[in-house]
Structure 1
């Protein structure tokens, strides 16, 4: 198999080859069709995202879809040839968080077991995944759409936490990366129209956003100074953007933090703002049993919202990884996806 190796010691990437692995009794061997490049991947390469210390090389990529090539002897729910998507998050099933339905807070598994951070991910032609984390892709959903299930499952978890979001809610989305584009699409799907604004400092990204043709405003940060919103969704992960979000909240407003935040980011905050305006700050961490529902959500969104050209997604061969990562960093695309 071909794979893209990441060396955490010197932050280098190298294309290599190895024999195709054999699944253990509870594992599924997936012939990968598409693997996404997440913000966490980029932060990991840059060295800003936490991971195990003194580790050997690891494969990045937690957004994985493909076709079942082989199954372990104990696998009962899947068959060779089926199209599948991988939920990168799991729980230990025995801690208090897991037993209360919150595996996203599990200290033993949860984000602590996510491929690309703590174990090998999907930037390879063949991936071994535990059966419990593999989901069938519904009929009518393409694999190129299904590879967006992981970031969309994060949105689905966030959506459940901020609901209700009524039609007419004055909404500000911060950051025109792929999360911002998907949030805008989700809001539009749920009936919001001219009350949504997205802000982004880079002109390239604002131009890309116009391709979505949702009828939402795409502005620079300074263009919304003085405006107040009922709901602010911060997809940027930047501390400075969160400060902007807090000052943009109206009385009784809600701020939802959903970006892949740099762990070292800090903000200045005046508690008086919260008591005077009675606003709420809502954090959302990975997904919480939303992956299966997200595949149904993808069915509803379809080509109308998940068109790669409109979303600004670039598709690359794994061998073009340097070009793909550079295009994301410069803002030429919102997201890169490797096609195998």
Structure 2
């Protein structure tokens, strides 16, 4: 039996729609999942451009996905066929010091270096095979459509833990209104934050974010510069970068109030560089916090999804458009143009 999949070959830097054999009967602790929704993220774009490392032989991309269990290996006890699930793509070796310290995302043989959809075949396919301990059963009140956002929300949950505490009333600047910026906006609004500014250069994305109904100040980077030019003392308490754009991050550091924080959340190209004034960091006692993937934060993301519901996780409000696997070129092009905040493959049975 064959299935459709979108495969990337790093040797020629090319994506292609292929027909390959459905994953075989699962062994040991393996689980075969029939994919329902699978997202395209900024990391995938970097991979497709050849700027982000991945498996050197052809690999099926897709590390954000939900679906239904089809079959389980003989060692799997907590899942059964028919269960609706979300898949955590990241894991560690479980034997090194970082893993033993609860930091598997630092593991040299794990974390993003072992990621399903980057180093192992992922969810841009009708079926995917994954270890049972990376699969989370969904509560009844979470749809497969909402669960397609579990992985990015689990990364936001890890970021939230890293930057906390964030007192309500803080002035917060989000750089970028792609899906990650929009999810951060939704989470901040859910937590009671109202003094939030979102800087986004693309008009289409600014209009999409307005649909979320947060009442946040959504402006262009040029408008941000004007505010600072009018008042050199104007600043923000926290900057959350969701753009991965080094020049924007570099400039935003100068906007942070004394005692403030910079959260580097967006994934930049490994080739990107930025310059920081050590004196400014000293003078304003600034904290720079980087966030890498989602260690043990899937349960927190599922809790957020239950709390957020359709008020925040409606695809139209978030600027998410669904595509079939056959439409992968169209989906990637729309993302690059910025006419949507996120592309999601909806994979029919």
Q: Establish whether TM, by shorter chain, passes 0.5.
A: yes
RMSD of aligned Cα (Å) = 1.0
- What secondary structure does 1:2 align onto? strand
Question: Where in structure 2 are the equivalents of 1:44-59 lying within 5 Å?
Answer: 44-52=47-55, 55-59=56-60
User: 2:248 aligns to what?
Assistant: 241
User: 2:12 aligns to what?
Assistant: 10
Task: After the TM superposition, list the runs of 4 or more consecutive aligned residues in structure 1 that deviate by more than 3 angstroms.
Answer: none
Using the alignment, how far apart are the partners of 2:113 and 2:126 within structure 1?
A: 24
User: 2:236 aligns to what?
Assistant: 229
User: 1:65 aligns to what?
Assistant: 66
> Which 5+ residue runs of structure 1 have no aligned equivalent?
none
The offset of 1:7, in angstroms, is: 1.5
Using the alignment, how far apart are the partners of 1:335 and 1:174 within structure 2?
A: 16
The offset of 1:28, in angstroms, is: 0.3
Using the alignment, how far apart are the partners of 1:19 and 1:58 within structure 2?
A: 14
Using the alignment, how far apart are the partners of 1:157 and 1:323 within structure 2?
A: 31
Q: Is the 8 A contact 2:156 2:184 kept in 1?
A: yes
User: 1:175 aligns to what?
Assistant: 176
User: 1:338 aligns to what?
Assistant: 345
- What secondary structure does 1:18 align onto? strand
- What secondary structure does 2:335 align onto? helix
Q: Is the 8 A contact 1:30 1:66 kept in 2?
A: yes
Using the alignment, how far apart are the partners of 1:249 and 1:187 within structure 2?
A: 18
Deviations 1:17-38 (A, max 9, x none): 1232221221000011111111
User: 2:123 aligns to what?
Assistant: 122
Q: 1:41 aligns with which of 40, 44, 66?
A: 44
1:117–1:19 CA distance, 2 compared to 1 (3 A)? closer
User: 2:313 aligns to what?
Assistant: 306
The offset of 1:224, in angstroms, is: 1.9
Q: Is the 8 A contact 2:92 2:111 kept in 1?
A: yes
Question: Where in structure 2 are the equivalents of 1:316-331 lying within 5 Å?
Answer: 316-331=323-338
Deviations 1:105-161 (A, max 9, x none): 111111110022211111100100011100001110011100101000000001011
Structure-1-length-normalised TM-score: 0.97
Deviations 1:57-111 (A, max 9, x none): 1110001110000111111110010000100011111111111111111111111
Using the alignment, how far apart are the partners of 2:304 and 2:58 within structure 1?
A: 35
- What secondary structure does 1:179 align onto? helix
Q: Is the 8 A contact 2:205 2:339 kept in 1?
A: yes
Note if 1:212 corresponds to 2:212: yes
The offset of 1:204, in angstroms, is: 1.4
Question: Where in structure 2 are the equivalents of 1:129-140 lying within 5 Å?
Answer: 129-140=130-141
The offset of 1:51, in angstroms, is: 2.6
| More deviation, 15-24/82-91 | 15-24
Using the alignment, how far apart are the partners of 2:109 and 2:27 within structure 1?
A: 21
Using the alignment, how far apart are the partners of 1:244 and 1:202 within structure 2?
A: 18
Note if 1:93 corresponds to 2:94: yes
User: 2:161 aligns to what?
Assistant: 160
The offset of 1:222, in angstroms, is: 2.0
Structure-2-length-normalised TM-score: 0.95
Question: Where in structure 2 are the equivalents of 1:246-257 lying within 5 Å?
Answer: 246-257=253-264
Using the alignment, how far apart are the partners of 1:246 and 1:239 within structure 2?
A: 11
The offset of 1:43, in angstroms, is: 0.7
Using the alignment, how far apart are the partners of 1:293 and 1:124 within structure 2?
A: 26
Q: Is the 8 A contact 1:2 1:17 kept in 2?
A: yes
